[in-house]
């Protein structure tokens, strides 16, 4: 049997006492670990190791497990800025200390024991669909697809019992390279504009193409290095010389000023910049 401390690390530093007993660690071994500080008892039946993350510790203290954006962040998914810890608890749970916590009472589509410290991915996505603004929730879903944690086909086959989640499952894809691109596609859908994603032009993929000639590039939060920025400028110049119009938006504009982005795109389309120029008759 591996040392208890190793077993706890393999399980993200949090466990219910029944899980420890099933793994072969008796009550005496657990008490000894608590006495030496190798384990910390938060509730009668929930224990954590000293290296457990603060979010998981808070969830265990309330008798729940991390979910929604908190769990998505630990999975390495794209998430919007958020405050507080999101935890899932059983509908019958009582005496839940909610200070600083976002409590999720609704049950996701995947069954999970109330004694499990982990929330299944499908339930994490289900909770984001109910909790976040639609473009942010969809960005989390598509991040899970990009990381190959789930496929669009699998999502479509789930019985979500939620019209919002069902809608996300019908449109989520692997085309967006980032949550930022997902949000851009969403705000374009909001004004009825269709965008083709990851189209290769001049030997390089572009983030989006509207119509025949309007290219949209999305810059991420991090500032480009000088050499990378120079390559982007050169690529934009080549596209312009090939007859395309290139519009570039940054993180702040897409995330916090979508009205500006929509207005620019609407004006460009109104001017016909998305159409191929036809030779004039003489």
Paired sense of beta strands 196-201 and 101-104, if any? unpaired
Do 156 and 142 form a contact (C-beta atoms < 8 A)?
Answer: no
Q: Choose among 274, 275, 277, 278: nearest CA to 214.
A: 274
How is the chain split into domains, by residue range?
Answer: 4-52, 61-171, 179-270
Do 67 and 86 form a contact (C-beta atoms < 8 A)?
Answer: yes
Instruction: Give CA–CA dist 105/3, Å, rounded.
Output: 35
Give the DSSP H or E segment for 204.
strand 204-210
Do 47 and 17 form a contact (C-beta atoms < 8 A)?
Answer: yes
Instruction: Give CA–CA dist 216/184, Å, rounded.
Output: 10
Phi first, then psi: what are they for 15, rounded to 5°? -160, 150
Do 130 and 162 form a contact (C-beta atoms < 8 A)?
Answer: yes
The secondary structure of 29-85, three-state, reads HHHHHHHHCCCEECCCCEEECCCCCHHHHHHHHCCCEECHHHHHHHCCCCCCCCCCE
Contacts of 265 (CB under 8 A, 6+ apart): 188, 191, 193, 210, 214, 216, 247
- Residue 57 has what pLDDT? 92
Instruction: Give CA–CA dist 30/85, Å, rounded.
Output: 27
**Distances from the Cα of 77 to the Cαs of 91, 170, 194, 195, in angstroms?**
27, 20, 26, 24
- CATH number belonging to the domain at 179-270, selected among 3.30.70.100, 3.30.2270.10, 3.40.960.10, 3.40.50.720: 3.40.960.10
- Residue 98 has what pLDDT? 62
Which token pair is 28? 């005496």
From first CA to last CA, the distance across the chain in angstroms is: 87
pLDDT in tens, 63-80: 889 999 999 999 999 998
- Residue 222 has what pLDDT? 57
In Å, how far from its chain's centre is CA 77?
4
Q: Along the 282 residues of the chain, how does pLDDT read in single tens digits?
A: 789 999 999 999 999 999 999 999 999 999 999 999 999 998 888 999 999 999 999 999 888 899 999 999 999 999 988 778 999 988 776 666 667 799 999 999 999 988 888 999 999 999 999 999 888 999 999 999 999 999 999 999 999 999 999 989 988 888 888 888 888 999 999 999 999 998 999 888 999 999 999 999 998 755 556 777 788 889 999 999 999 999 999 888 988 899 999 999 999 999 999 998 765 555
Tokens 């851009």: give the residue.
184
- Residue 97 has what pLDDT? 60
- Residue 95 has what pLDDT? 61
């Amino acid at each position: 049997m591996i040392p208890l401390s190793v077993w706890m690390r393999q399980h993200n530093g949090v466990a219910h006492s029944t899980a420890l007993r099933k793994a072969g660690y008796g009550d005496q071994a657990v008490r000894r670990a608590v006495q030496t500080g190798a384990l910390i008892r938060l509730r009668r039946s929930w224990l954590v190791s000293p290296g457990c993350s603060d979010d998981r510790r808070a969830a265990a203290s309330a008798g729940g497990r991390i979910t929604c954006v908190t769990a998505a962040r630990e999975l390495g998914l794209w998430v919007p800025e958020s405050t507080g810890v999101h935890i899932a608890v059983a509908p019958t749970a009582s005496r839940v200390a909610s200070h600083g916590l976002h409590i999720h009472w609704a049950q996701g589509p995947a069954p999970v024991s109330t004694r499990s410290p982990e929330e299944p991915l499908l339930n994490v996505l289900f909770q984001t669909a109910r909790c976040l603004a639609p473009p942010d929730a969809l960005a989390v879903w598509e991040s899970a697809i990009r990381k190959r944690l789930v496929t669009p086909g699998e999502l479509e086959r789930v019985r979500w019992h939620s019209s919002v989640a069902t809608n996300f499952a019908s449109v989520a894809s692997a085309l967006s390279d980032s949550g930022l691109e997902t949000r851009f596609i969403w705000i374009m859908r909001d004004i009825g504009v269709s965008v083709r994603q990851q189209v290769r032009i001049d030997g390089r993929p572009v983030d989006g193409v509207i119509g025949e000639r309007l290219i949209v590039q999305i810059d991420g939060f991090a500032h480009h290095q000088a050499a990378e920025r120079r390559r982007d400028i050169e690529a934009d110049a080549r596209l312009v010389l090939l007859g395309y119009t290139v519009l570039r938006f940054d993180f702040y504009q897409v995330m916090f000023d979508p009205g500006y982005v929509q207005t620019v795109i609407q004006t460009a389309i109104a001017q016909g910049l998305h159409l191929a120029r036809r030779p004039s008759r003489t």
